[in-house]
Amino acid sequence: MTDNNRFSDSLTFPSTTDQVAKADEFLETWLRKIGVPEDTIANLAIAVTELVNNAIVHGNKLKRNKKVTVSLTFDSGMIKITVADEGEGFNPENVPDPLAKENLMKEIGRGIFIVNSLIDEVKFQFPPGGGTKVTITKNIA
C-alpha cells in the first residue's frame, strides 16, 4: 500500500440510479490503485453505495438536473470520502433507529446505520446554500 503519498480525485454525475454503479467503479478502481486491502475496499464500497443512493433518491429526489459529487482523498494512511448532494438537507437525529422494534420490518432506513458500522468516522455537513455533505473517514495505516 502507498503510505506517504497524497491522492485526491472526484466524480460528479446526475441524480439517476444508474450512476450508482459508475460511482462504485470509480471508488474501487481508485482504492485498488493505492493498494487498499480488498476487505476494506468492500466495506468502503458498501458505505459509499449507501451514501450515493441516499444522495440521489432522498437528497436530490431523482432530479436529473441536480448533481452528486463523490470526492476521495488519501493522505498518511487515512481515506476520506465525501458524498455531496444538492437537496434540501435533513436532520440525521430524526432518522429512526432501524433496530427499534417498530422499524425492524421496514424496507428503508438502514443506510446511515450500515455506514456507521463500517466506517471509523461519519460527519454530516449542511452548507448554507443547501445540500448535504457526508464525509466518511477510514484509517488504513
Q: Which domains does the chain have, with CATH numbers?
A: 7-139 (3.30.565.10)
| Per-residue pLDDT at 1 | 47
CA angle centred on 96, ends 94 and 102, rounded to 5°? 145
| Per-residue pLDDT at 95 | 63
Percent of the chain past pLDDT 90, that is, above it, reads 67
Segments of the chain with pLDDT less than 50: 1-3
Please write down the long-range contacts of 118-122, taking CB distance under 8 Å and 24 or more positions apart: 118/43, 118/44, 118/46, 118/47, 119/43, 119/44, 119/47
**Secondary element (H or E) of residue 36:** none
Model pTM score: 0.86
| Per-residue pLDDT at 96 | 58
**Position 20, amino acid:** V
| Per-residue pLDDT at 110 | 60
